[in-house]
Structure 1
Amino acid sequence: MADLSRAAIVALAVVGAVVVNLVVYAVGRAAGGTFRFTAAGGPAEVDALTVAAFSALPLLVGLTAVALLAPRAGWVVRAASVVGPALAVLTIALMTLPTDLDATSKTTLALCHLTLVPIVVVAVAALGRRTRVVADRLAT
């Protein structure tokens, strides 16, 4: 990925996360998950659009921040490679486990959070490499 632009790395990671999580969601639906839960306003359901948005938006924001900040502050790559995966796991405890989803739906959504861990690690590493390649070119 070193020859890809930072924007391309972010875009590939986001699209990849959405595709993978929609496949995981489809498998969860096929396995009998209802994805219905009780929200403050009454009954609610996690649909494919919600899965796509909850996969894409945090990843897009986080990786864009890394892509923009890494050339100016190398520590951002190291921090993001820890904070990104930690947030993906932490949100299972904060968003998924407290709900009254059925077991299949809860497991599926937890897996959707976990799929973001390797995606974040690979994308952040690629952004770090891309930053070093650009810095090396500028130094010569």
Structure 2
Amino acid sequence: MRRFLILILVMGSILTGCGKEEVSFSEVSIDKVKKDVKDFIMHIETSESDKGNGIYMFNDSEKVRYLYLTQDFLEGENGFGSLDIKVDDNSWNIYLNESSDVEGIEDEYKLYKIKLNEEFEYGRVFKNGEETHFQTIGA
């Protein structure tokens, strides 16, 4: 009986440790997101504000964010490049890069759904290795 209880405790510990969520992101289509995200993007597209840096964040929930990049993000003939997310003790950091390997018609925008594994005190964004800011953050 004692061995059986120990086996259950060990298996429970293994399953609990393996079940930890990680930060993840995926590119999504505007057609596949909820109405409030679409409304946020529509507001950005129809606003008559000056050009910004083209980096927008929508907070859907405590652990789900949407990152929206417009053509204003791009400089010169570059295209949208890579995205990476790294976390530390109290912040999550988005690393964005442009790409000079542009062939054919480039996307007009990029929209990413980001799933965080916990709440963070700070969120930072970097473009081509240098820290920048979000043009607008919505909720």
Normalised by the size of structure 2, how large is the TM-score?
0.26
The structure number with the bigger radius of gyration is 2
Higher helix share: 1
Greater RCO between the two (CA within 8 Å, min separation 6)?
Answer: 1
